[in-house]
Structure 1
Amino acid sequence: MPQIVRSSKWIPVAVLLSLSACAAEEREFSTPCKALICDDFESSEVGAAPAGRWRVGTSDDGMGNMTGAVAVDSTRAFSGNRSVKISTVENDNWKSAQLIFADTSALPTKDNVVFGRAMVWVESVPDKNLTWGLITGKGMVPGETHEAYYRYGGSEPVPGPDGSVGSKLAAFYDTPGSYDVPPSAPETNCWNHATSDIMPVGRWACVEWKFDGGNDEMQLWLDGFGIPGLNLKGTGQGCTGGQSADFVWKAPTFTEILVGWETGDPDVARTIWVDDVVIGAEKVGCP
C-alpha cells in the first residue's frame, strides 16, 4: 500500500487520487475486533441509524426543527460499501450531529485511557474564524459535580497557495454546566491551536486520538503523524472564561466518545462521512 502523505499540506488532486487508489484487500477492515468496538457499518441498513451499540445525537433549533442528521449511507465508503453520513443544516445557532459510543460495559476503561481511530471524509470546512468540533470525550470530573469535555476540531482559517482556505486543527476544553443559569460549573472555554496542520478536505483522512484521564492528557494523530501543538498535558494556550493561562484541563472520567460535527456559531450546511471506527484501550493505528 502506498505511503500516506502527511495531510496538513495542500496536495494536488492527482496525488490525492493516487493515494486512495488502494486495492480492496489492502483496505479491508481488520477482524476479529480486539478493541471496545470496531465498526465498518456494513451490517447496518442504509438510511437508518447505525446498528448495535451506537447512539446518535442531533440538535434542534429550539423550535422543534432538527439541525443535524446521522445515518448509514452508500454514497462513499473507505472500505466496503457503507459509511455513516453526518450532516448539519445552515443556521445561526448551535448545531450538532454525532455518532455516540457510551456503552457502560466498555466505558470507562480501567485506567480511564481511551484511544480511537476513525476514517473521516470532510466535504468542506469554514473559511472564517469559527470553532467546530469533530472528536469529543466527555464525562463527570472526578471529585466534582460537573461534566467536562476534551474535544478535537478546529477554528482558525489558513489561506492556501492555491487560493483555498483551510481550517487549522485545535484542541478544546469545556465545562457545559457553565452555560446553565445559574452556572453549575466553572467557566472555561479553553483552547490550544495546532502549529500549522489543517483538516484535510475532499479525501479520506485517518484521525486517531488519545484521551488520558489519569494524566489530564490528550493527543491527536492525522494519517499516522502526531500533530505539533496538539499533544497536550494539563494546560492549553488560553481560556475565554476568565481562567488563568495555567488553568488545568482537569479530565473527566470518560463515559462517552462522540464523533461528528458540531458548532455553536452561524455556519453553512456541513457534511462529513465516517467509516472504520475503532475505540479501545490501546492505540489503534491507521488501516
Structure 2
Amino acid sequence: MRGGQRAAGCADRGLLFCEDFERLPLGGPASLRWGVDTRHGTLSVQQQRRNRVLNVHTEGNGRAFLRIDDFAAPGNAFFGRVRVKVDAFPTAPDWAHFTLVEITGGGSSEVVRPIGGQWAPPLQGSFLGVGADGGPTGDWTDWRQSAPTVADRWQCFEWQWDPADNRVALWIDGVSRPELSASTKQHGGNPVDFVLPQADTVKLGWQLYQPGPTPARFDLWLDDIALGPRRIGC
C-alpha cells in the first residue's frame, strides 16, 4: 500500500458503499452487503500483516468478483476507489483482455470497465485502458502504451462516473490519468455516441476472457473499496 498509508476506513457516513474487510471473519466471504460472482474462481478474506484483505483467485479464464447489487448514486454520478495488488498479468495468449472493475445498469446496454487492460504482443507488455464490451458502441479496449500494468505492488485506483458527458475518469495513486478517460465521443474511435448506464451493479475482482492463458492462474488482493458522491482519495 502506498507509503504504508491506509484510507480512513469506513467511518465516513457520506459514503454510498464501503468495505475494508476488517470486521469480516477470515475465510470464505460472509457479508450481507455484497455478493459473489465466480466461475472457476474463489474469494477469501485473508490476513496480511495488520490488515484484512480480499484474495481473488481464478483458474484459466475464470472470473471472481465482489458484486455490489442494487447500487444507486444520486443523479447517477459517483466516485470509486479500490486498492489492488496483482501477482502477475497475462503474457499469453495474444491480446489477452482482463477486467478488474465492471459497472452495468439500466438506460444503456454498455458494459463499462473503468479498470482493465490487455496484453499487447507487438510491445510484449500489458497496458491499462478504459473499455466496454457490447452495447451500441461495440467492443473496445483502447489500451494505452503510457499506462503499463504494475505487478506485485499495491496501487490505489480511483474513478469518476459522470453522466454529464458520459465520462469515466481515472486516477492512479492520486495522479490523474486523462489518457485513460472515456467520454461521449472519446471511446475507442467508434463513431456511435457512448452513453453511460444508470449504474446499479458494480463488480470488483478479476476476469480474463481468453482460454489457455499464461500464467494458468491469477491471484490479486483488494482492500479499501469505497463508492461515494465526492472524490474519496487514497
Do Structure 1 and Structure 2 share a fold, with TM-score over 0.5?
yes
Alignment of 1:160-171 (within 5 A): 166-171=125-130
CA deviation profile, 1:22-80 (whole Å, cap 9, x unmatched): 3xxx5363452231122210111111214241111002xxxxxxx11112112x36xx4
> 1:88 maps to what in 2?
58
Mapped contact 1:49–1:70 kept (Cα < 8 A): yes
Where in structure 1 do 4 or more consecutive aligned residues deviate above 4 Å? none
> 2:6 maps to what in 1?
27
Distance between the aligned counterparts of 2:137 and 2:183, measured in 1? 20
Q: Residue 50 and residue 36 in structure 1: after superposition, are their counterparts in 2 closer, same or farther (change >3 A)? A: farther
Of 71, 90, 96, 1:130 maps to 96
> 2:80 maps to what in 1?
116
User: How far did 1:21 drift?
Assistant: 5.8
> 2:41 maps to what in 1?
68
Alignment of 1:1-287 (within 5 A): 22=4, 26-27=5-6, 29-33=8-12, 34-59=14-39, 67-74=40-47, 76=48, 80-90=50-60, 94-102=61-69, 104=70, 107-128=71-92, 129-141=95-107, 147-151=109-113, 152-157=115-120, 166-175=125-134, 186=136, 188-234=138-184, 235-238=186-189, 245-266=190-211, 267=213, 268-286=216-234
Q: Residue 255 and residue 134 in structure 1: after superposition, are their counterparts in 2 closer, same or farther (change >3 A)? A: same
- Percent identity over the alignment is 27
Distance between the aligned counterparts of 1:229 and 1:28, measured in 2? 26
User: How far did 1:98 drift?
Assistant: 0.4
Give, as a single letter, the amino acid of the residue that structure 1 aligns with 2:194: W
Give, as a single letter, the amino acid of the residue that structure 2 aligns with 1:154: G
Give, as a single letter, the amino acid of the residue that structure 2 aligns with 1:35: L
Distance between the aligned counterparts of 1:156 and 1:130, measured in 2? 5
Distance between the aligned counterparts of 2:62 and 2:107, measured in 1? 25
CA RMSD of aligned residues (A): 2.3
User: How far did 1:141 drift?
Assistant: 2.1
Q: Residue 28 and residue 137 in structure 1: after superposition, are their counterparts in 2 closer, same or farther (change >3 A)? A: closer
Unaligned runs of 5+ in 1: 1-18, 60-66, 176-184, 239-244
User: How far did 1:187 drift?
Assistant: 7.1
Q: Residue 159 and residue 44 in structure 1: after superposition, are their counterparts in 2 closer, same or farther (change >3 A)? A: farther
Mapped contact 2:80–2:228 kept (Cα < 8 A): yes
Aligned residues: 226
Mapped contact 1:209–1:221 kept (Cα < 8 A): yes
Give, as a single letter, the amino acid of the residue that structure 2 aligns with 1:275: D
Mapped contact 1:44–1:51 kept (Cα < 8 A): yes
2:142 match: secondary structure: strand
